[in-house]
Amino acid sequence: MNTSWMYINGNASIREALEHIDRNLQGCIFTTDDLGKVTGVATDGDIRRGLLNGLTLDSAVQLCANTEFVFAGAGDSREALLKKLDQKIRVIPLLDAEGRLQDVYTKDRLPGQKEQKVYTRAKAPVRISFGGGGSDLTHYFMQSGGAVINATISLFSHATLHKRDDSRVRIYSYDLQGTLEGESLEEVCRQEGRFGLIQSVLKTINPEFGFDLYLHSDFPMKSGLGGSAVVAASILGCFNELRIDKWSTYEIAELAYQAERHNLGVAGGWQDQYATIFGGINFMEFRADQNLIHPLKMNADILNELEECLVLCNTGTIHESGAVHDDQRKEMQKDDVRNLVDKNVALTYTMRNMLLRGQLKAFAAALHQGWQYKRQFSTAISNAELDGLYDFAIANGALGGKLLGAGGGGFFLFFVPATAKHQLMNALESKGKQVIPFRFEQEGLRSWQMRDTFGE
């Protein structure tokens, strides 16, 4: 709206004021002093009453202006304006700090909500695996078909993304205790160092804008919890929030797999990507034609009991999953090792049925049997120290367990009945091992966006 016809000097005549009102079509005029400060408002009704009370068309318009008027400031919300208009007020002047007219609001003309900058966030959970490990490797299931059971738990990787107005890229990683930055994504991706996974994800999606990316995780690196896939998923979740055509859960899993396995060249299976993105307890089947994710709908009491019977133990040693998988691939060329993987897959189907029927004691025994199979896949999966820790846990009440991830280090998962749980935890801690509390996490990758009010 052109506000030039909405105000007039208070010393101007009523005749001039009526000419302004005739032009602005709002039925009123705001009066100002010599400095331009709004001093009052005169409606056509105010002017008519003034003329009836003896004023003339040549009288100063300020003589019939109302100096007690409703106005708006720059910080007034839409809600506040709507409430003012609800009070039978036709026109609200927007005044600056000096009281000068900036704009005019009416019921038909309210300020639009300007689109503000946003930031996006994502969090993705790690997984614990119960059975079938090794069968999610492409070179295995393309011939025989694979199956695994896993569950996501309440340890997350977190990502925050701020889109920039320039092409500059800055990456802050709490886990790596470092920063990677450059004038463009291309420059950032050329730099060598410990940011290889993050760079690989960014190369895979190739965003065409600058950004600041902040990353941190609730778990240590190289822990056997599928952490690389979890970090990749959280990054992808942030960028997906900015897309109009959003990636599906399967597509995000495939992008994460592509980034780590193909672009970065780290050997490994498929389950980590699907687990963190889908979330919950899942039975996964891997076939040459397609991978299928089957959520296990377990009775709530069984699920709670399973959660209470599990102990997550940090061995204090890291593992290099890619190296373990490379060695395992070579070993799988041997008929006896491949036969062990076949047995593990068959056992996984049995474990699925045990969980659904609540046969937890039998499940614990199957967990133990699966570990006996897996530790023979490759000499890189276990060692004397890890075997000793497992035997120690069994001697202190555990009924079964397994090393999580590819092997070689990271976390042990033990199944222990309620009456022996305290004994097991105390025994593990007496050996300097850390017991990590957790809960099952039913949701997978979550992402959202918020207005960037903190940057104002």
User: What residues act catalytically?
Assistant: 272
CA–CA separation, 142 and 194 (whole Å): 32
Question: Cα dihedral angle (197, 199, 203, 207), rounded to 10 degrees?
Answer: 120
**CA quadruple 420, 426, 428, 433: dihedral sign:** positive
Residue 93 DSSP one-character state:
E
CA–CA separation, 14 and 337 (whole Å): 101
Which of 264, 236, 241 has the alpha carbon at shortest distance from 252? 236
Strand partners, 161: 120, 213
CA–CA separation, 368 and 364 (whole Å): 6
CA–CA separation, 405 and 402 (whole Å): 9
CB within 8 A of 123, min separation 6: which ones? 156, 157, 158, 159, 234, 237, 445, 446
Other CB atoms within 10 A of residue 138 CB: 17
